[in-house]
Chains A and B, each alone.
Chain A
């Protein structure tokens, strides 16, 4: 879009949206939400960036290579944490018996392995949303649609 007001306001608001998304991901074991909804928020902020500033600029910020790393990395971290439980104690994805430190319920650093899993899921969901959006609107760029240019 060519509008100056929209561009300035977006540039100011996007960090707050991302901060809120990170807050929801990190507090996944205390409050409702967790990895899925937090990842959706971060993904939505990047989709807003794409809509306002155009597809080529957004592709420089979030390239194909980064989405490959994020998606594979998310799954590998998740399965790796599960395998730690398998080797130490005997069942996949164990929490207490595998020695993850449990704090007091209600604090931020508690719950064993659950915050780590939430971070992995959040990164993966955000990367999936953005790359799917870029894929869907790629075929739509031409002279008749100056909205996304």
Chain B
């Protein structure tokens, strides 16, 4: 029964997406509760899978009982189990937020459609994490691309359509580039299954080195466009500027990270370390990541709109994660995995608290935050915790991830990378700290105002409080997940 859990998770999400159109004729709360029950079921089954895999090893699931050479298989190892649990858990929290958000442009009629698209997107996200076949990953990649684009442009406003058209064009160039890389790999090896491809490449890469280097280039560029790595990041800030807050949180915290997982699988399971060191891939990725870290922050300083600023900040943090991967060591990979989880929590907290502020006060520019901490204490409290986490203050999870990334950088043979990590942290201060400080000052002197709890719908407050507690917990007790991350990173077989 445990072995059937991967496909049962995916089918539960697909069934939810099919049943919602039948439900939404009557009261809408039935749909919301039904979706929440399904998400809770899948989260418990992901917990079971994680404990089972940590003891017994990977689950291999072959579709149709066909042998691995001729069929499609799913292989759920420790890293896939952790990331799928993170995806489902964070989506549950963002789902709770979106239940309470009635007026940010998502009208009542569109509501059912929003959740249908959300569940189909979750079905494809789980599929691309579990799969062990390169072409199957392409199909799921396209499903994610269409549903994400529809979630962003769900508000029927003018500027969403032009932004989502540019989004579709750029993502499609990325997907087709990935497909060309898969076609080149099929030409050389004759398989698309990851295990057989890696065995085949280990024996023949000396003969076909030109094919393999071109395939590597196409694959990295294709996934780089979709994961918003630095030179290909153009679509991300435009997509954030006009989307509902829950969609922005989903896109920037979850979807982009899943493509980084695909990149990790490609680099370390398909092309192993001998091939990559021969082609100097590590140096190229380090340069790209370092440029992204610094340029992302520099662009963020110049923005006036809060959501665009958070989008550029995401690009800078994704540079951190790619640098952790580019170290090609176990410590670097475990710090990259930890930063995936911690940045997901922090960026979701930032986007959701900005969403509450827009809902209550309708402000969007970053110089309109004066005195807000006295009127909305819980929201600004969570925003402050998350922003301090991005900067890297101790007691938050952002500090732990910067610490481990710095130690991994010192371990690498080029020690100057530690300077870039510190410099990027300082640049983060320049655009987060003025917002926090201006929210705690009031321009007109008044008598003492007691803090009053703001009147926003309770699902929105509950979700940001859960995220804030999560950031602090992983900052004070990081060993809760750092042990499993280190164990997962060891499994890739480092020299």
A residues with a Cβ closer than 8 A to B are 68, 72, 75-76, 79, 83, 85-86, 89-97
Contact = CB atoms under 8 A, between A and B. Distances in A.
A75 B18 contact: yes
B7 A92 contact: yes
Given A68-B21, A92-B7, A97-B65, 4 more contacts: A79-B14, A83-B11, A91-B65, A92-B63
B445 interface: no
Nearest to A86: B4
* 3 tightest A-B CB contacts, nearest first: A93-B64, A94-B65, A91-B65
Contacts of A95: 64-65
A72 B18 contact: yes
Contact of A91 (B11, B18, B21, B61): B61
Contact of A94 (B15, B61, B64): B64
20 contacts: A72-B18, A75-B14, A75-B18, A76-B18, A79-B11, A79-B14, A83-B11, A89-B65, A90-B4, A90-B65, A91-B61, A91-B64, A91-B65, A92-B4, A92-B63, A92-B64, A93-B63, A94-B65, A95-B65, A97-B65
A86 B65 CA distance: 10
B14 A91 contact: no
Contacts of B64: 85, 91-95
A75 B11 CA distance: 11
A64 to B, nearest CB: 12
A138 B7 CA distance: 39
Contacts of B65: 89-91, 94-97
B277 interface: no
Contacts of B11: 79, 83
B62 interface: yes
Contacts of A79: 11, 14-15
Contacts of A72: 18, 21
Interface in B55-81: 61-65
Contacts of B4: 86, 90, 92
Nearest to A90: B65
A86 B7 contact: yes
